[in-house]
Amino acid sequence: MPLLFEPIAIRELTIRNRAWLSPMCMYSCNAEDGMPNDWHLTHLGARAQGGFGLIMSEAVAVTKDGRITPQDAGLWNDEQAEAWAHIVKFVHDQGAAFGFQLGHAGRKASTYRGFPGEPKGCIAIEDGGWQTLGPSTIAHEGYRAPRAMTRGDMDDVIDAFTAAAGRADRVGADVVEVHAAHGYLLHEFLSPLANDRADEYGGSFENRVRFPLEVIKAVRAVWPQDKPLFVRVSATDWIEGGWDVEQTSRFAGLLQRIGVDLIDVSSGSIAPAKIPATRNYQVPLAAKIRSDNTILTAAVGLILEPKEAEKILISGESDVVFLARVALREAAWPLRAAFELGLDATEIPYPPQYTRARFDLIPAE
C-alpha cells in the first residue's frame, strides 16, 4: 500500500488517504454576502469525487470585516452555515472528510479579488472598502494602514473564531484549521514585520505568540475533543528580522500543548520577499518542524507528482500533503496518483459512477 493511500487516524477521525485538498479562496460569493453557492459545491464536490481524503474549504471569514475580498465565503452567520451544511454532506457522501479553514484577513482585508481584467489591490473606502484591523498601524505594502486592535477588538475576534467553530461543528465538519499564515491577522501578530506593539502582545517571542495562542486555545475549547484541530502557519517570512522556522518550531511545540493536532506548513506573504519557489520548496520547513516536535505536519507547495508526494511521506518529511494548484488542473489527481503508485484497482476510490473510466481498464496506447 503506498503511504499516500494509507488512511490516517487523528483523534476519532479516520481520513481515507493523505492527499488533501489545500484551502483555496474562490472569491465567488458574487452577492458579497459570504454565502457559499453552486460554485463552491461543484468545486469542492468534484475534488471529493476525485478521491481527495480531506477537502479543506477556502479561508472562510469569521467576520465580515475579516474577509480578504468582498466575495469571500463566510461562517459568521447561521444562514451561511446552513448553505455550507449541504456542501459538507455532499463531500461526506463521496467518502471524503471536510474541514473549514477559519480566517481573519487583518490588515490584508478589503482588497479586490484581482480576477483577469478586474482591478487589483486595496479597495478604497469610497469604493466599498472598509477599515482593516491589525496588531499595529503598520500597513501592508501598498495597502491602507490598519487600526491597531484594542483589547475589545481582540475579544471580538476570539468570539468570532469560536462562534464559527461552533457552526462548523453543527454543520458536520470533521476538521477546523485556524489560518495563521500568509500575512493575515494571526500571522501579523507573530511577525515583528507587522507587529510593533508595546504591550504584552508585541516584542518578545512570548508576547507575539500570545494572541494567536489565545484564539487557538478558545477554538480548541469549543471544538469537540474527538475532532482534530489544525493550524496553518507561514514557517518563515523569508525576510531577515521576520518570523522564521526556529520560531515556528517553538510555536508548534506550544500549539501541540494546547491540543493542536497538525501543523500545515506554508510560508511567506507577510511582505514582498525573494522566495525560492522551486518544486517541493516548503517541504524542508515541514520536515524541520516535524523533527523538532512530535506533532503531525502537512507539507504543501509545488508538490505536483504522485511519486514526489509518496517520497515526501516515506522519507518522513511530513505526514500528509496538501495540493492546491495541481488540483485546480486535475480534480481527480488522487485517482491517477493511486493508479501510478500501484494501488490495487479495487482500492482506488473511484465513485461507482466513474468506475468504467478505471485506468487499468483503458489501454494506455
Ligand X SMILES: Cc1cc2nc3c(=O)[nH]c(=O)nc-3n(C[C@H](O)[C@H](O)[C@H](O)COP(=O)(O)O)c2cc1C
Instruction: Check if the beta carbon of residue 21 is closer than 8 Å to that of residue 332.
Output: no
Binder of ligand X out of 3, 59, 168, 338 (CB under 6 A): 59
Rounded to an integer, what distance in angstroms lies between the CA atom of residue 288 and that of residue 286? Answer: 5
Binder of ligand X out of 40, 140, 179, 288 (CB under 6 A): 179
* CB closer to ligand X out of 148 and 215: 215
Q: Which stretch binds ligand X (CB under 6 A): 18-26, 168-176, 192-200, 203-211?
A: 18-26
> Counting contacts by CB under 6 A, is residue 247 touching ligand X?
no
> What's the Cα-to-Cα distance from 270 to each of 105, 181, 244, 344, rounded to whole Å?
11, 8, 12, 44
> Counting contacts by CB under 6 A, is residue 301 touching ligand X?
yes
**Residues present in the chain in total:** 365
Instruction: Check if the beta carbon of residue 187 is closer than 8 Å to that of residue 271.
Output: no
> Counting contacts by CB under 6 A, is residue 302 touching ligand X?
yes
* CB closer to ligand X out of 65 and 202: 65
> Counting contacts by CB under 6 A, is residue 69 touching ligand X?
no
Element of type H or E holding 126:
none
> Counting contacts by CB under 6 A, is residue 24 touching ligand X?
yes
> Counting contacts by CB under 6 A, is residue 323 touching ligand X?
yes
* CB closer to ligand X out of 304 and 341: 304
> Counting contacts by CB under 6 A, is residue 300 touching ligand X?
yes
Pairing of strands 262-266, 8-10: unpaired
> Counting contacts by CB under 6 A, is residue 266 touching ligand X?
yes
Catalytic residues: 184
> Counting contacts by CB under 6 A, is residue 209 touching ligand X?
no
Residue with smallest beta-carbon separation from ligand X: 324
End-to-end CA, the chain: 26
Q: Smallest gap, in angstroms, from Cβ of residue 180 to ligand X?
A: 9
Rounded to an integer, what distance in angstroms lies between the CA atom of residue 102 and that of residue 149? Answer: 19
- One DSSP character per residue, 77-120 reads SHHHHHHHHHHHHHHHHTT-EEEEEEE--GGG-SB----TTS--
* CB closer to ligand X out of 108 and 232: 232
Binder of ligand X out of 101, 132, 136, 293 (CB under 6 A): 101
Q: Smallest gap, in angstroms, from Cβ of residue 117 to ligand X?
A: 17
Task: Give the burial class of 360: count Cβ atoms within 10 A of its Cβ; 0-12 exposed, 13-18 middle, 19 or more buried.
Answer: exposed
Rounded to an integer, what distance in angstroms lies between the CA atom of residue 359 and that of residue 350? Answer: 10
- Give the total of residues touching ligand X (CB under 6 A): 20
* Residues near ligand X, by CB under 6 A: 22-25, 58-59, 101, 179, 181-182, 232, 266, 300-303, 323-326
